Amino acid sequence: MELAYDYPLLSMFWTMLWFFVWIMWLILLFRIIGDIFRDDELSGWGKTGWMIFVVVLPFLGVFVYVIARGKGLGRREIDHARAQQAEFDAYVQRAAGVGSRPSSADELAKLSDLRSRGDITDEEFRRAEDLVLSGAGTAAGSGTTTASTTAATASSPTAPAGH
């Protein structure tokens, strides 16, 4: 029967060291397996060959893979992270409605700004405000907003200059 005081401190240290080295090796093994499948430049036969090498001779396979393809391992990891970030950003923009039709409040704020600068008259402001509030704030099919349409009208030669 072995008791705790029969296990020397140095032996416990070496046991813990080997345990953590083994865990680090397992993490490296799974990263390499993921990299094998993620690499688009590697053919199907190449992926199969590396997988057999890494599974049949795990220690040697992992070390040879790191020596042979280690430089690209980091680059592919970074490219994968960037692609995931770009997909996430696109999803967030779609979910938040960025780039879609501006809200009525935004339209009214633009119109108010145009009126305060003197680019449009009070009558033009009231007509555009009625259009925005009625829900007809965008021209059909053109995507131009009421404020920009009104601003274009205000800059025409027949419109009164408000400056």
* Nearest-5° Cα angle at 94, 92 to 95: 65
Tokens of 85: 């970030």
Whole-angstrom distance, CA of residue 90 vs CA of residue 63: 38
Q: Which two tokens stand for residue 150?
A: 């009104």
Query: In this structure, how many other beta carbons lie within 10 angstroms of the beta carbon of residue 131?
Result: 19
Tell me the per-residue pLDDT of 108-121, one tens digit each, with 9 for 90 and over.
Answer: 888 888 889 888 88
Q: How confident is the model at residue 2 (pLDDT cuts 50, 70, 90)?
A: low
pLDDT category at 161 given cuts 50, 70, 90 is very low
Give 107 or 155, the one with higher predicted confidence.
Answer: 107
Q: How sure is the predictor about 144, in pLDDT bands with cuts at 50, 70 and 90?
A: very low
Q: Per residue in 54-71, pLDDT tens?
A: 989 888 988 899 898 888
Tokens of 27: 């993490």
- Residue 21's CB: how many other CB atoms inside 10 A? 10
pTM tops 0.95 = no
